[in-house]
Structure 1
Amino acid sequence: MNSLWPKRLLEDLVDPQRPITYGVVKPGDEQPPEGVRLIRGGDVLNGRINRELRTIAPDVSDQYRRTLLRGGELVMSLVGNPGAVAVVPPDLAGSNLARQVGLIALQPFAEARYVMYSLMAPDGKNALTARTKGSVQQVINLADLRRVPISLPPLSTQRRIASILGAYDDLIEVNRRRIAVLEEMARRLFEEWFVHFRFPGCGAGLTDGELPSGWSLVPLEQMLVLQRGFDLPSAARGAGAHPVIAASGVHGTHSEFRVRGPGVVTGRSGTLGTVNLVHQDFWPLNTTLYVREFRRASPAYALHLLRHLKLGAHGGGAAVPTLNRNHVHALKVPCAPPELIAQFEQHAMTTLVTAYNLERQNSRLAESRDLLLPRLISGDRTVTTAERELEPVA
């Protein structure tokens, strides 16, 4: 898409005292608690920086003072997630970068969030993709990154565009935090009632290994039945809205489904230990096990029960980890009275449905933002019109 604004090379937007470069080459194995936080390639994704960062020794960081962050710079993953870019928030000032991350410290006439969105727009992505190197692991070369063209409107317009697109991302982030809180509420309720046995009317404390009155220890198969998923080659998938579930989670969509939602799915081969609640009708792939029959367990209860069992630790296979459903079925689990499970299901499923609805809202917000992004960056959509359209969304 052609831009109405003049184009400048990315290197021309950068502070000449802080050229585009990469960070620490050999961070070492030491991770001191009071060390310097280190941003690696995998820590940059979807316009955000992971906050659970490893650390490096201060003397190692001092050797790479060129990439010590002040806050407000752009950082780009050069390896792993090549092209993923984010603005450094103020609270990460003093952190450093790994070799797999590039520093882009802009001059005052270039708004960092605007340049970030420019690099995330189709033209920016295409320019970066054309410059990735390597047949197996894609890598962005710094010399090529410096030559990426950026459409540059006046600074006031840059800020207005960044504000519009940022409003969508802010709403998405608020929803993400709400989703995390809701999911944590359901998890803690399960642990309180069914792990620590602190449920309504539980009475006096129990000794170690003792079950509450009316409870029993039963094989998992008495609670639910797991079944292997179904083959579905990528070439056989049709356009549709039914999620296709792989061992690691959602893996596209299909025009048909094999299981009615809500359902529970976990990895059978490859990725083990991930357990997902699927609200829609869905197609579980043959790398998964899905709950074919909810016997004493119900969907929200089954989700947390399987997560609590840490199924990844029960896998076999040297080359490709595999979960045998017969072994899992034999695991002994505490079985609560049906009325307590039903009470939990009512509370937890209400919470999880609210989280699911927020996820759907986020998908719509992201879709709207992604449609608007290239049109704003190119000047095809006026900023005033976009600001007016944003008002009902915000």
Structure 2
Amino acid sequence: MTTVKLGEICDFLNGGAWSDKEYVLTGLPVLKVTNCKPSGFALSDIDYLPYSAAEKYAKNKLELGDVIIATVGSHPNLKDSAAGRSCVVNSMVEGYYLNQNAVCMRTKDSDVLDQGYLGYLSKYYEFQHFIQMRGRGAANQMRIAISSIKEYNCKLPNIEIQRRIASILSAYDDLIENNQKQIKLLEEAAQRLYKEWFVDLHFPGYENVKVVDGVPEGWEKKTILDMSSVLRRGISPKYNDKGKYTVINQKCIRQTIMDIKESRQQEKEYPADMNLKDSDIVICSTGSGTLGRVGQVFGDYPDTTFDSHVTLVRAKKPDHSQFLFLTLKYLQPLLMTLGQGSTNQLELPKRVIESYGIICPTEKLIIDFESAILPIHNKITSLVSIIKNATEARDRLLPKLMSGEVEV
């Protein structure tokens, strides 16, 4: 085993410092620090550079296996600190362009330092602690100098051991990534079927149904409240890292699937109907950027509730759950425009959600739709569980392999 400074064996590439004015509706996708989460990449809010900027920003284009380190963020002692967070570029973000406040690391010689091994080194607690403790600045805006990262002393095993360690750990990451891709395809399939049946009105037997003023016979106008057994904002938590209860927040609703990893522990008790259940719908209801975002709970979560910035919607009839969720998901772009209040403190009031009117299909059609969508929902639930187990197994094994406690 040899010891060498990271700066001697890695190239460091700063993220691009382009202006927000350069962004366009479609083009070259940009990866920001805000897209890099502990659980992976959150890609629901992506900005784009014009295709004509490809040559100008070529050095910021990410390659498969690149290691991204966030160099700006809150102090690591604070909850959800970004400073020092690392992510490894996978096929989902390969070819994206890295924005400022982050640095990309690449090995100079893959026969000295394996790129895959470098990715897992960046997640090793010793490396994380080293760079985070060298951050400077205010608690809510700390900056880690690239020169400090370069000073890290790597204890490198021989290249064959590096590659074996990377191979073992990447098997978990490959499983996680493949399941994430499956989930994305399943989500898209569910949304396409919803649009086909209830927007394009090509539901089973549509040829024999009379349509008057764009509304099929037998359909009726209802509000979201009419279809809900629970529609309410959450609690003001009493946070305690050792608390019995888990509470989700808006950070848990970055994608369609509610992500429990961004939750916190708290000790305040709450009514039984505020415990999250499978197929519950959760909506971001405070602030700009995330306001109106719609997610769904996949699986059951005992002792888990939601905070006051989240609105819970639960279908009145269990066999209406997927229809109600996909209706609200389809309405998400509209919900994101319905905030009230000042720009920096927008609210999506409960009354706005509950009073929103929709044209509701016949009971038989809703149940038929539920029968078609429920297998997709259950498959996603299973894949989410596999991802959770694979992530936990990888995270337990990583420090043991990196420290040499487990030999390869």
Q: Shared fold (TM-score greater than 0.5)?
A: yes
Distance in 2 between residues matched to 1:368 and 1:93, nearest whole Å: 25
User: Aligned match of 2:292 in 273, 283, 289?
Assistant: 273
Check if 1:20 corresponds to 2:12.
yes
Q: CA deviation at 1:124?
A: 1.2
Q: Which amino acid aligns with 2:235?
A: F
Q: CA deviation at 1:335?
A: 1.0
For residues 163-204 of structure 1, what are the alpha-carbon distances to aligned partners after superposition, in whole Å with 9 as ceiling and x for unaligned? 111111000000101111112222222221122211111116
Distance in 2 between residues matched to 1:176 and 1:25, nearest whole Å: 30
Query: Paired residue for 1:332?
Result: 357
Distance in 1 between residues matched to 2:92 and 2:176, nearest whole Å: 20
3-state secondary structure, aligned to 2:154: strand
Distance in 1 between residues matched to 2:389 and 2:226, nearest whole Å: 40
3-state secondary structure, aligned to 1:20: strand
Query: Paired residue for 1:106?
Result: 107
Query: Paired residue for 2:130?
Result: 127
Query: Paired residue for 1:389?
Result: none
- Matched length: 372
* Preserved contact between residue 314 and residue 321 of structure 2 (Cα < 8 Å): no
Q: How does 1:112-191 map to 2 (within 5 A)?
A: 112-135=115-138, 136-191=140-195
For residues 109-159 of structure 1, what are the alpha-carbon distances to aligned partners after superposition, in whole Å with 9 as ceiling and x for unaligned? 110110121111111111121122222223220110111222200011111
3-state secondary structure, aligned to 1:234: coil
Q: 1:48 to 1:155 in 2, by over 3 A?
A: farther
Query: Could you tell which deviates more after superposition, 318-327 or 24-33?
Result: 24-33
Query: Paired residue for 1:317?
Result: 341
Q: CA deviation at 1:287?
A: 2.3
User: Aligned match of 1:11 in 7, 12, 21?
Assistant: 7
Distance in 2 between residues matched to 1:145 and 1:26, nearest whole Å: 24
Check if 1:259 corresponds to 2:271.
no
Query: Paired residue for 2:255?
Result: none
3-state secondary structure, aligned to 2:207: coil
Q: 1:372 to 1:144 in 2, by over 3 A?
A: same
Q: CA deviation at 1:236?
A: 8.5
Query: Paired residue for 2:257?
Result: none
* Preserved contact between residue 239 and residue 266 of structure 2 (Cα < 8 Å): no
Which entry has the higher C-alpha Rg, 1 or 2? 1
Distance in 1 between residues matched to 2:53 and 2:275, nearest whole Å: 56
Query: Paired residue for 2:76?
Result: none
What RMSD in Å do the two structures reach over aligned CA positions? 3.5
Q: CA deviation at 1:61?
A: 5.4
Q: 1:326 to 1:237 in 2, by over 3 A?
A: farther
3-state secondary structure, aligned to 1:380: coil
Q: 1:208 to 1:120 in 2, by over 3 A?
A: farther
Distance in 2 between residues matched to 1:224 and 1:201, nearest whole Å: 28
Distance in 1 between residues matched to 2:315 and 2:26, nearest whole Å: 50
Distance in 2 between residues matched to 1:56 and 1:265, nearest whole Å: 34
Q: Which amino acid aligns with 1:317?
A: G
3-state secondary structure, aligned to 1:203: helix
Query: Paired residue for 1:227?
Result: 232
Q: TM-score, normalised by structure 2?
A: 0.78
User: Aligned match of 1:78 in 41, 58, 71?
Assistant: 71
Q: CA deviation at 1:160?
A: 0.7
Amino-acid identity (%): 25
Distance in 1 between residues matched to 2:310 and 2:96, nearest whole Å: 40
Q: 1:92 to 1:224 in 2, by over 3 A?
A: closer
User: Aligned match of 1:361 in 366, 386, 390?
Assistant: 386
Query: Could you tell which deviates more after superposition, 50-59 or 154-163?
Result: 50-59
Query: Could you tell which deviates more after superposition, 188-197 or 19-28?
Result: 19-28
3-state secondary structure, aligned to 1:333: strand
* Preserved contact between residue 24 and residue 47 of structure 2 (Cα < 8 Å): no
Q: Which runs of 5+ in 2 are unaligned?
A: 74-81, 253-259
For residues 323-363 of structure 1, what are the alpha-carbon distances to aligned partners after superposition, in whole Å with 9 as ceiling and x for unaligned? 22223322221111111111212222221121122111111
Distance in 2 between residues matched to 1:37 and 1:293, nearest whole Å: 36
User: Aligned match of 1:192 in 191, 196, 219?
Assistant: 196
Q: 1:43 to 1:322 in 2, by over 3 A?
A: closer
Q: CA deviation at 1:100?
A: 2.4
* Preserved contact between residue 30 and residue 57 of structure 1 (Cα < 8 Å): no
Q: Which runs of 5+ in 1 are unaligned?
A: 384-394
Q: How does 1:33-52 map to 2 (within 5 A)?
A: 39-45=31-37
Q: TM-score, normalised by structure 1?
A: 0.81
